[in-house]
A and B are shown apart, each in its own frame.
Chain A
């Protein structure tokens, strides 16, 4: 009994979230779609509760449920990011739901379940709990992508995401089964033990490497790294914009957190085996993210390629395979999520005479018509391009630092050069807003909640350089706890 209550306490935030999500689901079912605004508000409240439970907890590292679930600083840090992304995107979607007749109570509830899945993913300590968390997240996301079921693009996005996502889940499962077959265990610590105890210099069984490759492929799909990125632009473009904002932030962080945990934890001793895969995926993502984005005219599609590129940069940190590298990934994802939330906040404000617009041309002359919206977007674009003193530069700073430290010079050189190419299309957005004339103003006012999001995110991006300490320390502690465990 004592063990069970300890287990429950360890996973308390997740359990609370699950209960709240189910309660809200009940509420929605009994009250109908009229209760959607209330449920949206309550969902945000539930996420905020869980956020504080996790970020203020200061809980000690522990295992629960027979080692399936792990609690550590790393997990807490990444979970806070996931929750932050989920909270802000739900807040941002309020107006969209009102204006676009998307008043469906399922949306916030599914977002809660997806978030729950993400929290489980981040804490997964076993291939089985990994898979369960991942599927809970994915299945919820498939439905959310198609939540506007009367809209052709939305349903297409959902279907595409489902078919490709199912394929990747299959690969992941296949890889897991291979690993289980050759290592005889699914538990992360036990897997790590298998490799540590192996005679020095002896290559791991070939089948196990094959399994690892499949596992990486499945996870690469979730973070939309090249060559498993094909779904991203279509889904980003087709899904309702708040959903796209959600896709671009929380699940990315969760999947990245999971990938880092799997690679550095159980397979930490196989760095030599997986490093080349990660290096390749990273370079390919950076190249595709930089070059394919140049020709885009739709801002949501552009953001899709941008996020592919950013994942490539974050993977540089993982490729280093060191504690420095993990810290780089954590810092990168933190800044990435803030930049993306802000940018999608701006995209959600792109509404003209009651209709959402999403072409880059629509941004023409924005600095004259809506200066207070153009300025944050300017800040985010320069930040994404990685120009100091904005936060995006700090993000790149840490991952490149790890790469140089690990001696990955070629990767670093390719990385910085693609960032120059990437700067081109971020600057193009600035060009539309500041250099071009004409263009009708967007509908105003944007609402107090949205203004708060824009001001908050842009202030963080603009001023982070002045006090980099807290995020660095948090990331350092998180990275240390991942490698210690």
Chain B
């Protein structure tokens, strides 16, 4: 296994599956069934392959590992280069775990154009995994923006009533951000002479460039995260997307923004990052408080969870820009936890949506009497989202708060207040949907979870507890890389001319 290009295999295996699905012919029913099975087996095989990454990854090293390289643009020093480090490896795993679950969750929910749907998901998986593995900026950009195509189609074709509006909004918002990242990429290419990410990380960009580059990157990553006030595409996209689309959107696509900050903005542009930290803190705190309040007022369950995503991602950006060991680890952990928990919550909503075809909270009450198993799963994921100790949500939020408290107590105070609001809207949602007396006549015949649905939730449940009770197996992976980021960040700040504390230090020598 040692010499295999394992990352490329994991990345492009889904594409092979999609290619075979394309050629399935015959009766519509048969095509749909074959497409489902083919997609499921492909995504499971991809997951099994990705386990090799998990087991072969050398913990305690900040280096990029399992590197594959090939010449791509001859004469340009733009190459095909894949590799993972402690930051990206876990996201690769997250993507490969969520995709098979999405396919199972769409088993009965998607009845039209099943073949195309499965192709879109497998292509999406390739792009997601590739994006996290890419060690070349141009390659990264290819995957980063390529994701828009399948997601646009998933929202637009299999979405709800306002799907066209939402799909366009999603596409144009993210594209507008990305094109500026693209220009930043070109400017950086001419500065460094290569788009090799490790080389760019080593390179110290001149202070005069950093501000502009940082802003261009910020435009792109902030939309993806999404940060307040450019988050408005997210509730629309979530509400209209099919369940599995929301799962991927919340579970993985939002993480691309956070990953971008950690991989590019922070280590490549330390001075600008330091300079703009107050801006990021302000926007993050705004996001946490404001979107939590907005979530409190929602009547649509998916919209509520979408707003909660914005708040949780606010914690991520907050943690990232503390540039402390705890803050960064917390941010990464929070992203993983949110990837699992929000994915689970969207699936939870999907379960009752499949039964009643409405997501309005007011249409449900007292579900506990008919759906006990469902209520149990819902409760656990809901509490994980709130951040109950013992669940994955707690670890992430706790670490972020520890990090932010060292840097800015006011931001810590407001973020903690946001967590209380988070508990408020989640518990309020749970009370309205699950508890109380069942009065609605059309709920009387509602059925509890099917075995297939339990199969979807069981791995997520296991992950929530694993991450909550023994977070070491995940923190282990990332700590060396995070230490490296923090140290080189501080070193860059010390070296920078014209900074008061830097000049103080240099006097002693």
Instruction: From the candidates A412, A420, A473, name the one contacting B176 in the complex (CB within 8 A).
Output: A420
* In the assembled complex, B443 has its CB within 8 A of some CB on chain A: no
Judged by a CB distance under 8 angstroms, whether B23 is at the interface is: no
A269-306 residues with Cβ-Cβ distance < 8 A to B are: none
Does A388 lie within 8 Å of B168, measured CB to CB?
no
Report the bound CA distance from A469 to B75 in whole Å: 9
Distance A199 CA – B190 CA, assembled complex (angstroms): 33
Please give, as numbers and ranges, the residues of chain A lying within 8 Å of B180 by CB-CB distance.
Answer: 413, 416
Contact between A435 and B157, CB atoms less than 8 A apart: yes
**Of the candidates B72, B73, B149, which one forms a contact with A387 in the assembled complex, judged by CB atoms under 8 Å apart?**
B149
Return the CB mask of B481-506 against A: 1 if under 8 Å, else 0: 00000000000000000000000000
Question: Which stretch, A128-136, A207-215, A342-350, A423-431, touches the partner chain B?
Answer: A423-431
Residue A228 at the B interface, CB < 8 A?
A: no
Give complex CA distance A397, B138 in Å.
Answer: 10
A477 to B199, CA, bound (A): 29
Give the contacting residue for A435; candidates B75, B156, B171; CB below 8 A: B156
- CB of A465 within 8 A of chain B? yes
Q: Are B171 and A427 in contact (CB under 8 A)?
A: yes
Which residues of the other chain, A, contact B63 by a CB distance below 8 angstroms? none
Interfacial residues of chain A within 408-426, with CB under 8 A of chain B in the complex: 409, 412-413, 416-417, 419-420, 423-424
Q: State the Cβ distance, A392 to closest chain B Cβ, in Å.
A: 12
B168 partner residues in chain A, CB cutoff 8 A: 424, 427, 431
**Given contacts A387-B146, A387-B148, A416-B183, A468 and B73 within 8 Å (CB-CB):** yes
Cβ contact within 8 Å between A435 and B183: no
B41 interface residue per 8 A CB criterion:
no
Within 8 A of A (CB), among B202-250: none
Contact at B74–A472, with CB atoms within 8 Å?
Answer: yes
Counting chain A CB atoms within 10 Å of each CB, the highest count among B74, B76, B179 belongs to: B179
Chain B residues lying within 8 Å of A388, measured Cβ to Cβ, are 141-142, 145-146
Which A residues, 427 to 454, have Cβ-Cβ distances below 8 Å to chain B?
427, 430-431, 434-435
Find chain B residues with CB under 8 A from A423 CB: 171-172, 175
| Closest residue of B by beta carbon distance from A382 | B149
**B152 pairs with A427, CB closer than 8 A:** yes
The answer for the CA separation of A435 and B138 in the assembled complex, in Å, is: 31
From the candidates A393, A424, A469, name the one contacting B74 in the complex (CB within 8 A).
A469
**Which residues 139-160 of B have a CB within 8 angstroms of A?**
141-142, 145-146, 148-149, 152-153, 156-157
Q: Chain A residues with Cβ under 8 A from B73's Cβ?
A: 468-469, 472
B67 within 8 A of A: no
- What distance in Å separates the Cβ of A132 from its nearest Cβ neighbour in chain B? 37
For B167-191 the 0/1 string (1 means CB < 8 A from A) is: 1100110011001101100110110
Across the interface, which residues of B come within 8 angstroms of A435, CB to CB? 156-157, 163-164, 167
Q: Does A404 lie at the interface of the complex (its beta carbon under 8 Å from any beta carbon of B)?
A: yes
Chain B interface secondary structure, helix, strand, loop or mixed? helix
Encode contact with A along B405-439: 1 for CB under 8 Å, 0 otherwise. Answer: 00000000000000000000000000000000000
Contact across chains for A431 and B156 when beta carbons are under 8 A apart? yes
Docked Cα-Cα span, A468 to B70, in Å, equals 13
Contact of A400 among B75, B138, B183 (CB under 8 A): B183
Residue in chain A with minimal CB distance to B186 = A404
A405 and B167: CB pair below 8 A?
Answer: no
In angstroms, Cα B163 to Cα A469, docked, is 39
With an 8 A cutoff between CB atoms, is A476 at the interface?
yes
CB pair B172 A416 closer than 8 Å: no
Q: Is A401 an interface residue, CB under 8 A from the partner? A: yes
Complex: how many Å from CA A404 to CA B190?
8
Shortest Cβ distance from A428 into B: residue? B168
Bound complex: CA of A106 vs CA of B180, how far in Å? Answer: 49
Shortest Cβ distance from residue B11 to the other chain A in the assembled complex, whole angstroms: 13
B424 to nearest A CB, angstroms?
Answer: 37
Chain A positions within 8 Å of B153 at CB level: 430, 434
> Are the CB atoms of B157 and A413 closer together than 8 Å?
no
Counting chain B CB atoms within 10 Å of each CB, the highest count among A388, A397, A405, A424 belongs to: A388
Q: Which of A389, A419, A434 contacts B179 (CB 8 A)?
A: A419
**A416 lies within 8 A of B167 (CB):** no
Among residues of B, the one whose C-beta sits closest to the C-beta of A368 is B113
In Å, the complex CA distance between A405 and B190 comes to: 7
The distance from the CB of B218 to the nearest CB of chain A, in whole angstroms, is 15
A459 to chain B, nearest CB (A): 13
Q: How large is the interface on B (under 10, 10 to 19, 20 to 34, 35 or more residues)?
A: 20 to 34
Q: Which residues does chain A contribute within 8 Å of B149, judged by CB atoms?
A: 382, 387
Known A389-B146, A404-B190: A417·B156 in contact at CB below 8 Å: no
How far is B182's CA from A389's CA once the two chains are assembled, in angstroms?
A: 13
Q: B residues 366-418 with Cβ under 8 Å of A?
A: none
Residues of chain B with a CB closer than 8 A to A419's CB? 179
Bound-complex Cα distance A476 to B73 (A): 12
In the complex formed, the residue of A with least CB distance to B181 is A416
Report whether B172 and A424 are in contact in the complex, using a CB–CB cutoff of 8 Å: yes
* Residue in B113, B152, B163, B187 whose CB lies within 8 Å of A404: B187
Q: Given the complex of chains A and B, what is the CA–CA distance between A367 and B179 in angstroms?
A: 29
| Cβ 8 A contact of A434, one of B74, B141, B157, B175 | B157
Question: Could you tell me the distance between the alpha carbons of A223 and B187 in the complex, rounded to whole angstroms?
Answer: 29
Best-buried of A382, A393, A404, A472 by chain B (most CB within 10 Å): A404
A409, B179: Cα distance in complex, Å: 13
Write out the residue numbers on chain B whose beta carbons fall within 8 Å of the beta carbon of A431: 156, 164, 167-168
**In the complex, chain A residues whose CB is within 8 Å of the CB of B75:** 472-473, 476
Provide the bound-state CA to CA distance between A397 and B74, in Å.
Answer: 15
A453-481 vs B, CB cutoff 8 Å, 1 = contact: the mask equals 00000000000010011001100100000
A404 engages B183 (CB within 8 Å):
yes
The complex places the Cα of A420 from the Cα of B145 at a distance, in Å, of 13
User: Do B142 and A465 have beta carbons less than 8 Å apart?
Assistant: yes
Q: Smallest CB–CB gap between B188 and chain A, Å?
A: 10
In the bound complex, how far is the Cα of B179 from the Cα of A473, in angstroms? 26
A473 interface neighbour in B72, B74, B152, B167, Cβ under 8 Å: B74
B window 102-157: CB within 8 A of A:
113, 116, 138, 141-142, 145-146, 148-149, 152-153, 156-157
Q: Are B171 and A413 closer than 8 Å at their CB atoms?
A: no
Please give, as numbers and ranges, the residues of chain B lying within 8 Å of A389 by CB-CB distance.
142, 146
Given that A387-B145, A431-B164 are known contacts, is A420 also in contact with B74, CB under 8 Å in the complex?
Answer: no
Smallest CB separation, A228 vs chain B (Å): 27
CB-CB under 8 A from B176, the residues of chain A are: 417, 420
A413 contacts B167, CB within 8 Å?
no
Give chain B residues whose Cβ lies under 8 Å from the Cβ of A387: 145-146, 148-149, 175
Instruction: List residues of chain B with CB within 8 A of the CB of A472.
Output: 73-76
CA distance A382 to B149 in the complex (A): 8
Give Cα distance in the complex from A435 to B142, angstroms: 25
For the complex, give the distance between the alpha carbons of A382 and B150 in Å: 11
Are B142 and A401 in contact (CB-based, < 8 A)? no
CA distance A388 to B74 in the complex (A): 19
- Contact check, A401 vs B156: say whether CB atoms are below 8 A apart: no
Q: Give CA–CA (A476, B145) in the complex, Å.
A: 27
Chain A positions within 8 Å of B186 at CB level: 400-401, 404, 412
A291 nearest CB across to chain B (Å): 14
Which residues of chain A come closer than 8 Å to B141, judged between CB atoms?
A: 388
Cα(A435)–Cα(B153), bound, Å = 8
User: Please, which residues of chain B bring their CB within 8 A of the CB of A405?
Assistant: 190
- A403 nearest CB across to chain B (Å): 8
A199 CB to closest chain B CB (Å) equals 33
Q: Bound complex: CA of A165 vs CA of B175, how far in Å?
A: 38
Does the CB pair B72–A420 fall under 8 Å? no
Please name 8 further chain A to chain B contacts, defined as beta carbons within 8 Å, in addition to the given A404-B186, A413-B180, A435-B163, sorted by A numbering.
Answer: A388-B142, A389-B146, A400-B182, A413-B183, A416-B182, A430-B156, A431-B168, A472-B74
Write 9 A-B pairs (CB below 8 A) sorted by A numbering: A367-B157, A387-B145, A387-B148, A409-B183, A423-B172, A424-B168, A430-B152, A431-B156, A476-B75
Using CB atoms and an 8 Å cutoff, list the residues of chain A in contact with chain B. 367, 382, 387-389, 393, 397, 400-401, 404-405, 409, 412-413, 416-417, 419-420, 423-424, 427, 430-431, 434-435, 465, 468-469, 472-473, 476
Would you list the 6 A-B pairs with minimal beta carbon distance, nearest first?
Answer: A416-B179, A404-B186, A388-B142, A435-B156, A420-B176, A469-B74
